[in-house]
Structure 1
């Protein structure tokens, strides 16, 4: 998602003109870390949490990172979402939907009586407006990185190219109905519609405050919370007085009055705050990676006092080092355009060191896909595998024309764990004569640099946007994603593009698996990435906090959480 500080098999297209209906209420979320979920939720109170980085983007049309999504998901909603901690699609702002026999037409029926937090009524046109914003390549302050997800809507490409003033494949027969026509069936289209890019946005409010404000300080959604404050040091969310959703007992959501998010990139301090009871929750969505800072992992997981308050959730989330293949960077020849240099880096990398730095909280990874997803390759081709071999690495550098080594610039965010990993990578490369200059900057500045395609070496991660191998492989390695800023290492291979494009629309799962297997083996044999590790999610939950739903795809659902009486009375 999505870049991190985007499980299971793909859902089959609905056959015929089936209808999927959901009620207007939601069951009480299962309690984790506190008392049993059968206990009646308490209305009121507040919580405080730490988050590793400030929010780069508050506009759902622009945000495409887990930090931003954690906040955006509390304020904005989509037509559909995921049920609990599963990958099953359920209605959110859509009461129901129909799919045509050929799988190319979706008709969404909106819930009645939903309003934005300022009282403006929700209409089907609001979704059209948002998709138009996503497909506006001149959107300010910057274009949406999500436009590629919607290009299969009929007329989307023409609208994006400026050849049409409207998207011909989207219509609104009335204020409560939205019809979307696709050029070809797309099995995971509903999962795309669950992404923040497809949020309901109030056109009148956006036109009043402007795109720049909507991306930084102003927000207007239908979600459980409003943004009271968003700065580089703190985000404050307060209850949306017009929120439409109730729990299964008829109680109005959200239960909490306020959520205060303090920006804190010191992982050890964040862990201390939680251990002392100052913060309610640590999660992968807040702290990044696995949710427990690596330095605190042994203390928390080996302590009877704390371990019982931790819930583990497999995550479809990976970390990696990207190697930019662009022939020239900043006007200078780029050594990484030489495959032998990249392969030398692979052979000089020792994943056991990175796992050790994380105190064993992560799992080794050898490819750009987590093992939680369909399409994962259990046995890579020999050409796609790299063992720790310094002799071979040095020989490859010599063959590449760098017998005396070379210098590379590496970019990363400025968290304590990132610094440890950067230093470890730097030391590994030094053994074969590669000098790594480290640039550690704020999360926002890192995203700007990396997504511009000018970061020579960078450590990043990817959390699934929707549970499908396409979200990792097509988004990160298709050459058509270079301009969108998703293919940040400028990887371009015509054969890989062909495989990716074929798999994108295939309805044969076995064929898709085979195609994605070819992509993974080719990408790894080309040494496009150095896979670091696969994350495991640890949700550390105070005993007095209830209603937490650990998930590897849906962010922390503050709207369903509640606290014991008298705890946080704001």
Structure 2
């Protein structure tokens, strides 16, 4: 049949680059590809509607903050079951949040910012009935901020009984859950083969959240955009998620293929490690900001897939700003380097994930920094390798992408603008300021104040101010906000990337 893909009608086959996955335990997953999968496997108390992008009831059918402003009560839906057949109760929800805090993996800071610790969390998050959950925070926060947190992957509700059945040495099922699932969502994890594939399967029975047409989601790791293009043109896959602008333009002429565009919340940026003497000089950092061809990249090999953006909050978030104070200015950069004592330049290494788009960006940056006298060596590797060095503070310059974990400005402020403990021993690996050894002394108290401010306009102004401070004084160079272009076979409908606020939604997809 003309226009019809050759993939099975009940299976969605996707080509993507998924070498960033290090774990599929929701208490540990903190990478784009892993969270795309887990957004379709686990449920959370509160969810984000993929169409309206508004908060909607999830496993909790209703919730409220009680009089002290620190305590929240959630009514869990009755009659729900996990994929194992075990009943889903408030105890599962409490244990899941407690577990994430106690395991203390990279995304745990999303929860611990409310004062939860491994020692106190059992008393602060608890089931007060079979279908009633009570959570008490350390102080009064803006309620919308707290509710937004509960949409994040780390807040996923795990089947306590199933996880503990696979416990090893008191790990609460951690080793097993890295490659298995214990969930209630529209799909269950069938397999994950690193640098090869992720397979999700719909369990028997109906999903409480709505109809699921696809019985299987098969995500293939296809590193080369040219290979993805060939597969989508042949009909061997339903969707290609990492095509270059040139590939997008080429496949657009194919009547059997359509292009879906969505502006994401992901921000491309460069971070300079402040433990490196050369890069700790503010004049050097300012010079680098003037040695990047923002417009040139956006209008050439990145055309259609990014928009220039020079602040840590993406467009669409409360407090986002459009200020773009930096443009390519080689002479100004050279003057700054001379002031810094590097009139003859210096040498530095740029870490980058071996994805074509990022490699092209790295080469452009290598070229323009070279014009200013900075010799850049490019060090490429898999997503897991590059992230591992970044989290261990082993990088010099690094080109990375950051996406929000929940739909509130605090999600990015807390990681770019706040660093409560800059010591190596703190190991705040989820905090980008810590990863790059930036103390963020001016903005850390501002972040702490903004998160408890109930007046929305005052809160907006606080985030605007801290972004302008960091534009000038931080070792972060924000480059672009992503526009994701996905090529898919005609007849594939209902897919959402999650837009600016969430991860991918596979379960609403249908194929006609």
What are the ranges of 5 or more consecutive residues in structure 2 without an aligned counterpart? Answer: 168-172
Q: Against the structure 1 CA distance between its residues 298 and 244, is the aligned structure 2 distance closer, same or farther, given a 3 Å change threshold?
A: closer
**Per-residue CA shift, 1:36-65, capped at 9, x if unaligned?**
xxxxxxx97212111212322201011112
Inter-CA distance 299–530: structure 2 relative to 1 (3 Å threshold): same
The reply on whether 1:203 has 2:147 as its aligned counterpart is no
Instruction: Using the TM superposition, give the Cα deviation of residue 222 of structure 1 relative to its aligned residue in structure 2, in angstroms.
Output: 0.8
Mapped pair 1:506 → 2:453: yes
Q: Deviations over 1:236-294 (max 9, x none)?
A: 111212554263xxxxx4222211111111122213322322221244xxx3xxxx433
Question: Could you tell me which of 12, 17, 22 is aligned with 1:52?
Answer: 17
Cα 1:370–1:263 change in 2 (3 A) is same
Contact 2:294/2:327 (8 A) holds in 1: no
Contact 1:171 1:180 (C-alpha < 8 Å) held by counterparts: yes
Paired position in structure 2 for 1:177: 132
Tell me which of 424, 449, 470 is aligned to 2:389.
Answer: 449
Relative distance call for 1:499 and 1:115 in structure 2 (3 A) is same
1:361 and 2:361 are equivalent in the alignment: no
Q: Does 1:117 align with 2:90?
A: no
1:562 and 1:370 map into 2 onto residues whose CA distance is 30
| 1:555 corresponding residue in structure 2 | 503
Residue 112 of structure 2 is matched in structure 1 by 151
Q: Any idea what SS the aligned residue of 1:357 has?
A: coil
Structure 1 residue 297, shift from structure 2 partner: 2.6
Measure the CA separation in 2 of the matches of 1:99 and 1:403: 59
Give the CA deviation at 1:365: 1.4
1:466 corresponds to 2:406: yes
The residue aligned with 2:178 is 216
Residue pair 1:477, 1:491 contacting (<8 A) in 2 also = no
| Contact 1:294/1:417 (8 A) holds in 2 | no
Q: Is the 8 A contact 2:97 2:157 kept in 1?
A: no
Deviates more, 1:167-176 or 1:257-266: 167-176
User: Equivalent of 1:296, from 247, 254, 275?
Assistant: 247
Mapped partners of 1:464, 1:67: distance in 2: 14
Q: Residue 454 of structure 2: SS of its match in structure 1?
A: coil
Structure 1 residue 447: deviation in Å?
1.5
* Residue 475 in structure 1 maps to residue 415 in structure 2: yes
Q: Where do 1:272-283 residues align within 5 Å?
A: 272-283=230-241
Aligned to 1:314: 263
Contact 2:145-2:451 within 8 A present in 1 as well: no
Structure 1: 4+ residue segments shifted above 4 A:
none
Listed one character per residue, the Cα deviations across residues 116-162 of structure 1 (whole Å, up to 9, x for unaligned) are: 212122121112222222212xx3xxx32233322354x61xx34x4
Query: SS at 1:429's partner residue?
Result: helix
CA RMSD of the aligned region, Å? 2.4
Q: Is the 8 A contact 1:44 1:257 kept in 2?
A: no
163, 168, 188: which is aligned to 1:226? 188
Q: Aligned to 2:264, what secondary structure does the other structure show?
A: strand
- Alpha-carbon shift at residue 219 of structure 1 (Å): 1.6
Q: 1:58, 1:214 within 8 Å by CA — same for their partners in 2?
A: no
**Contact between 1:202 and 1:220, CA under 8 Å: does it hold in 2?**
yes
With a CA cutoff of 8 Å and minimum separation of 6, indicate the structure with the bigger relative contact order: 1
Query: Could you state the TM-score of these two structures normalised by the residue count of structure 2?
Result: 0.89
Matched residue, 1:191: 148
Residue 550 of structure 1: CA displacement?
5.1
The question of 1:375 aligning with 2:319 is answered yes
The corresponding residue for 2:469 is 522
For structure 1, which runs of at least 5 residues remain unmatched after alignment?
Answer: 1-32, 35-42, 248-252, 329-333, 565-570
Checking the alignment, whether the CA contact within 8 Å between 1:205 and 1:220 is kept in structure 2 is: yes
Deviation at 1:75, TM superposition (A): 1.3
Q: Secondary structure at the match of 2:34?
A: helix
C-alpha distance in 1 between matches for 2:507 and 2:174: 27
In the alignment, is the contact (CA less than 8 A) between 1:312 and 1:538 conserved in 2? Answer: yes
CA distance in 2, matches of 1:475, 1:175: 36
How many equivalent pairs are there? Answer: 489
Distance in structure 1 (CA, Å) of the matches to 2:450 and 2:332: 35
